[in-house]
Amino acid sequence: MLFKLTPEQLMIQNMVREFSRKVVAATASERDKTKEFPAENFRQMGELGLMGMMIPQEYGGESADAISYVLALSEIAYSCASTSVVMSVQNSIVCETLNKFGTEEQKQEFLVPLASGEIIGAFGLTEPEAGSDPVSQQTTAVRDGDQYIINGTKRFITSGEHSKVVLITAKTDETKGHKGISCFIIPKGTSGLIVGRLEDKMGLRASDTTDLIMENCAVPASNRVGKEGDGFKIAMSGLDSGRIGIAAQSYGVAMAAFDAAIKYAKKRKQFGAAVSKHQAIRFQIADMATQIEAAKQLIFSAASMKDRGETYTKEASIAKLFASEMVNEVTARAIQIHGGYGFTKDYNVERFYRDARVFTIYEGTSEIQRIVISNQVLKDKRKP
């Protein structure tokens, strides 16, 4: 099935494309070198309504559908993957979690400034000894009157330094496994919340990734999201949406690498002709185009299911798995087409290749996606 975009969706795509190519792309390479956080990008993106796109307007969002969101996110990723990953976490996990599970008071206090882009949020699930296995997390939250005392460390947290509010998971009952995990909102400035060191990463270098350390961090009970024991369910719901976001980022970076490869192949001459005339290169371009188009259709399919209110866990994992593996292959092919030049920092494909590498890892590795997909397929009792 080919998806026909509505006039509104096309308008959003064109608007974000223009902003991305003119504003975001202008400093992307330099930020990759300096690791400077693109705060000004996010200020303008907030004004454009890109930081809480799927959130209702009464809570500061744009009430956009998921298709519009993935179109916008992929356009940002085309120019700067570092900017897009912050946008993805903000929209797909932080804002959506508060909109779906938060109380009215929590929405007014935290969701409104997040969705409007006034502040940036983060989500803390991964720990030093608990990545793909969140049930093994060691962070604890102990009830003490009208507050919880939280202790633990969260690792590899996107926007850990620049966020103003953090959603974290913690064990409230060690005996109940995944049903003993709860979710909490911790505003920055809360006593006992410490930002750890800034990771020196291979890619996505302009987005900050840090530890978040909680040492006797006292959080009001009113900042618990959902009931005690809802934390695992909340986290998995956020990851379903987040995986569509990772797939959209993968598509955007792949398109950037693809366009760069075509441009180079048309102008680079070898053996008396542009390399785009040689069959070996043309076949690579054909394979790249096929992979990118397949990823796009999987992303649109998952997003459409989300828009229709259907369960889309399997489809989000399929899209994330395929698109993240695809972008790694496409960026590698783009470097190959550039030859030795692709291995230098003079060409953007080198940055695209480094940025793409993490897409098969975060918000569930490719191996975890295969587990999710197979579990969903094997429990599906419907006949083919």
Residues linked to residue 218 through DSSP beta bridges, in sequence order: 149
How far from chain centre, in Å, is Cα 133? 19
- The answer to whether 361 and 269 have CB atoms below 8 angstroms apart is no
Residues linked to residue 166 through DSSP beta bridges, in sequence order: 122, 186
In the chain, what is the straight-line distance between the N-terminal and C-terminal CA atoms, in Å?
18
CA angle 161/23/54 to nearest 5° reads: 65
Active-site position among 62, 315, 350, 363: 363
Burial 156-176 (b: 16+ CB within 10 A, else e): bbbbbbbbbbbbbbbbbeeee
- The answer to whether 114 and 60 have CB atoms below 8 angstroms apart is yes
127 is a catalytic site residue: no
Structure tokens at 228: 């005690």
Structure tokens at 156: 């590899």
Alpha-carbon span 316 to 140, nearest angstrom: 30
Closest by alpha carbon to 338, among 256, 269, 265?
Answer: 265
Active-site residues, by number, are 363
